[in-house]
């Protein structure tokens, strides 16, 4: 059946299952106290790392009978210490901690370490360590600070590693996992084609002739889910609903519609609710009030459509594009929760959920696997690899300002030591996150000696200078939660905010700007280097009519923290020039703020 990873709370547990699957072996994550009977079909078990100590009273409960089950077992980090403790060895608090890169001296290249070199770069993260190995084991490797970095009992096929083979910094990590899968006798038959076949059978069995309703936002998860459901159940048994809230990217709704309908899926209903959404946010400038209004409108539109369709609840199931990371407790981000609340947990749909009428065909997959599945199902490459896009869409990237905004002016903050960059406080505010709380403070604008010279260019600041200046500014005053650098025009403008709300005109301008940025990013091959790149319209103006654009490239693994991206000068020069040609755009800025203190989105 494959491998079960028992999750003791380690931050890498997801990676372990993901890496095993890359060896074409099925792997799933289960809690550590899963009873032995439920593990009967596993070919082998991996005990993950975790924050506990094996001596702690509140360590996670664990079914020790598992250790005598005869199945091959691999313990990693905490799992390694747990094996030692439970099988009669001794674990102690180390005098020194060992975090990050280390060098493993392989003293016996056998078992899971078969084929490794005498010295291997590995990744460590621990303080407790194995001092005495259990009876029947022998030491297979050590590091300078850890005398038992690897141990094994070839007879029982039980191995423990203090280090992390699942992270890419451990050079031979994939080889080690491969060895373990061989020891388990796993079949290498987990393929996406196999998954598609099995899913189709399972979906048919679950649906038992009933139909499935699904919201299709146009993102990769819901699109792939829609295609899979159609394949399994047939188009007459699936209904997709796409709500155009008027805050989509340029041509997005049309692209979703033409992709799906062009592929023969006439069972997609598209509702243009743009006018209703705009009416709801008319005259609203406060970011939270905007979000709330949009969230409420979304629910109303969806429930209205569902009521109009008058679906027989006995005949309809609800489909959702939930991923594996959302289904296990430790997975998912705050925002994943928000998305679920907004889209999937209200009104009519809540009733379906309560009745157990929910189909989630992607619930066993990781994001990279959903992308692979998307490619296999023929979803176009650019859609499969697209950056995530928030539910409220461009509405949270189009800043508004209420009456009286125009009286404020920028405030000079002086020249920063070291970099020679001039700083000033801009008269508008954006959302940030500092400590555990939300902030709503000003951006500071950096310019190189009053002129806009691109980072990395002759006479321009270095990225390191900008990063240092950004950190210094946000750390030194709570009036600043974000830092910008001026890309163009070359001279500094005297700007102040102008009163502005969400209007078709401003949204169209932002749509155009976003399309220019996305197209150039793609053409320059920069898309995969970033996780996301919002383009933001801010009502900062020198003439009372034009506005400014901010580029916000970020890289992040989990969206809780992020680094600003560093993009090449030729890309920035081209994009800045094209944005400045847009009627109504007078300045282009680059957001050089990490998260924290700045959130990814400006609102």
Rule CB under 6 A: which residues touch ligand XMP? Answer: 335, 338-339, 388, 390-392, 532, 559, 595, 599-601
Query: Using the 8-state DSSP alphabet, how is residue 346 labeled?
Result: S
Alpha-carbon span 49 to 246, nearest angstrom: 46
* Residue 186 is among the residues annotated as catalytic for this protein: no
Helices (H), 208-237: 220-233
In the complex, minimum distance from the CB of residue 322 to ligand XMP, in angstroms, rounded to a whole number: 14
User: Which string of DSSP letters, residue by residue, matches 445-500?
Assistant: EEEETTB---TTSTTSPPHHHHHHHHHHHHHH-TTEEEEEEEEESSBPP--EE--B
Catalytic-role residue among 80, 85, 164, 442: 164
Q: Which residue has the tokens 């996406």?
A: 192
Cβ closest to ligand XMP, residue 24 vs residue 387: 387
Alpha-carbon span 86 to 332, nearest angstrom: 32
Is cis: bond before 596, omega within 30 of 0? Answer: yes
What DSSP element (H or E) covers 244?
strand 238-244
Structure tokens at 255: 């692209």
CA 561 remoteness from chain centre: 10
- Coil, helix or strand at residue 165: coil
In the complex, minimum distance from the CB of residue 601 to ligand XMP, in angstroms, rounded to a whole number: 3
Cβ closest to ligand XMP, residue 335 vs residue 367: 335
Beta bridge partners of 415: 422
8 Å CB contact between 548 and 493: no
Cβ closest to ligand XMP, residue 541 vs residue 599: 599
Catalytic-role residue among 166, 252, 297, 424: 166
Closest-CA residue to 433 (of 575, 599, 276): 599
Cβ closest to ligand XMP, residue 211 vs residue 397: 397
Cβ closest to ligand XMP, residue 178 vs residue 591: 591
Which residues are within 8 A (CB) of 346 and not within 5 positions of it... i.e. 6 or more apart? 299, 302, 303
- Coil, helix or strand at residue 414: strand
Closest-CA residue to 131 (of 118, 119, 144, 149): 149
* Residue 505 is among the residues annotated as catalytic for this protein: no
In the complex, minimum distance from the CB of residue 217 to ligand XMP, in angstroms, rounded to a whole number: 9
In the complex, minimum distance from the CB of residue 150 to ligand XMP, in angstroms, rounded to a whole number: 38
In the complex, minimum distance from the CB of residue 359 to ligand XMP, in angstroms, rounded to a whole number: 21
Q: Is the dihedral of CA 35, 38, 41, 43 positive or negative?
A: negative
8 Å CB contact between 598 and 590: no
In the complex, minimum distance from the CB of residue 324 to ligand XMP, in angstroms, rounded to a whole number: 18
Alpha-carbon span 523 to 525, nearest angstrom: 5
Ramachandran angles phi, psi of 273, nearest 5°:
-110, 15
Cβ closest to ligand XMP, residue 536 vs residue 600: 600
In the complex, minimum distance from the CB of residue 562 to ligand XMP, in angstroms, rounded to a whole number: 7
Q: Which residue has the tokens 């910094």?
A: 169
- Coil, helix or strand at residue 252: helix
Ramachandran angles phi, psi of 92, nearest 5°:
-135, 160
In the complex, minimum distance from the CB of residue 148 to ligand XMP, in angstroms, rounded to a whole number: 41
Cβ closest to ligand XMP, residue 391 vs residue 427: 391
Cβ closest to ligand XMP, residue 512 vs residue 601: 601
Cβ closest to ligand XMP, residue 134 vs residue 390: 390
In the complex, minimum distance from the CB of residue 397 to ligand XMP, in angstroms, rounded to a whole number: 9
- Coil, helix or strand at residue 553: coil
* Residue 166 is among the residues annotated as catalytic for this protein: yes
Alpha-carbon span 443 to 441, nearest angstrom: 7
Cβ closest to ligand XMP, residue 81 vs residue 532: 532
- State the CB neighbour count (10 A cutoff) for residue 540: 28
Structure tokens at 24: 């074409």
Cβ closest to ligand XMP, residue 160 vs residue 332: 332
Beta bridge partners of 589: 486, 550
Cβ closest to ligand XMP, residue 125 vs residue 430: 430
Closest-CA residue to 241 (of 312, 320, 296, 356): 320
Alpha-carbon span 173 to 176, nearest angstrom: 5
8 Å CB contact between 11 and 51: no
For the chain, give the number of residues: 603
CA 345 vs CA 36, 75, 81, 393: distances in Å: 34, 38, 41, 20
Structure tokens at 134: 């259990």
Q: Which residue has the tokens 């489909």?
A: 319
Residues taking part in catalysis: 77, 164, 166
């Amino acid at each position: 059946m494959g491998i079960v990873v028992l999750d003791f709370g380690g931050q890498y547990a997801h990676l372990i299952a993901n890496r095993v699957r890359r060896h074409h072996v099925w792997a799933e994550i289960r809690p550590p106290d899963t009873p032995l009977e439920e593990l009967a079909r596993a070919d082998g078990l991996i005990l993950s790392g975790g924050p506990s100590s094996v001596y702690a009273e509140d360590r996670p409960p664990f079914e020790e009978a598992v250790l005598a089950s005869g199945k091959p077992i691999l313990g990693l980090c905490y799992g390694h210490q747990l094996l030692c403790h439970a099988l009669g060895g001794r674990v102690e608090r180390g005098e020194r901690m060992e975090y990050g890169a280390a060098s493993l001296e392989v003293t016996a290249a056998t078992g899971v370490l078969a084929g490794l070199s005498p010295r291997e770069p590995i990744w460590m993260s621990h303080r407790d360590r194995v001092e005495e190995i259990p009876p029947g084991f022998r030491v297979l490797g050590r590091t300078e600070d850890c005398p038992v970095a690897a141990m094994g009992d070839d007879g029982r096929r039980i191995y423990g590693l203090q280090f992390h083979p699942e992270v890419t910094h451990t050079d031979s990590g994939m080889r080690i996992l491969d060895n373990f899968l061989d020891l388990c006798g796993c079949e290498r038959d987990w393929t996406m084609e196999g998954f598609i076949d099995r899913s189709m059978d399972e979906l048919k069995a679950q649906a038992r002739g009933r139909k499935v309703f699904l919201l299709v936002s146009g993102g990769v998860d819901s699109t792939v889910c829609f295609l899979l459901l159609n394949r399994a159940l047939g188009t007459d048994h699936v209904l997709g609903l796409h709500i155009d809230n008027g805050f989509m990217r340029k041509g997005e709704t049309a692209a979703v519609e033409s992709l799906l309908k062009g592929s023969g899926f006439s069972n997609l209903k598209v509702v243009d609710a743009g006018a209703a959404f705009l009416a709801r946010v008319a005259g609203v400038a406060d970011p939270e009030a905007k979000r709330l209004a949009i969230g409420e409108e979304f629910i109303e539109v969806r429930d209205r459509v569902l009521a109009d369709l008058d679906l027989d609840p006995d005949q309809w199931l609800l489909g959702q594009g939930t991923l594996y990371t959302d289904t296990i407790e430790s997975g998912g981000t705050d925002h994943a929760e928000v998305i679920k609340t907004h889209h999937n947990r209200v009104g009519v749909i809540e009733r379906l959920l309560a009745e157990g009428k929910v189909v989630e065909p992607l619930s066993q997959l990781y994001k990279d696997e959903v992308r692979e599945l998307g490619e296999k199902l023929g979803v176009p490459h650019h859609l499969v690899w697209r950056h995530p896009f928030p539910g409220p869409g461009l509405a949270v990237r189009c800043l508004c300002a209420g009456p009286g905004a125009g009286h404020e002016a920028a405030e000079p903050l002086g020249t920063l030591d070291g970099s020679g960059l001039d700083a000033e406080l801009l008269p508008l505010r954006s959302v940030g996150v500092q400590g555990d709380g939300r902030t709503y403070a000003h951006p500071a604008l950096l310019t190189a000696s009053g002129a806009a010279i691109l980072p990395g260019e002759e006479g321009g600041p270095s990225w390191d200078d900008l990063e240092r200046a950004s950190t210094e500014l946000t750390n030194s005053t709570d009036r600043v939660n974000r830092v910008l650098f001026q890309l163009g025009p070359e001279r500094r403008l005297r700007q102040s905010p102008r009163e502005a709300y969400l209007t078709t005109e401003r949204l169209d301008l932002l749509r155009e700007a976003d399309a220019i940025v996305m197209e150039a990013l793609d053409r320059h091959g920069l898309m995969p280097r970033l996780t996301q790149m919002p383009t933001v319209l801010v009502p900062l103006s020198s003439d009372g009519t034009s506005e400014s654009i901010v580029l916000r490239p970020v890289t992040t693994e989990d969206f809780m923290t992020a680094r600003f991206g560093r993009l090449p000068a030729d890309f920035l020069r081209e994009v800045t020039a094209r944005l400045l040609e847009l009627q109504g755009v007078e300045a282009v800025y680059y957001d050089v703020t990490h998260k924290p203190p700045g959130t990814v989105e400006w609102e």
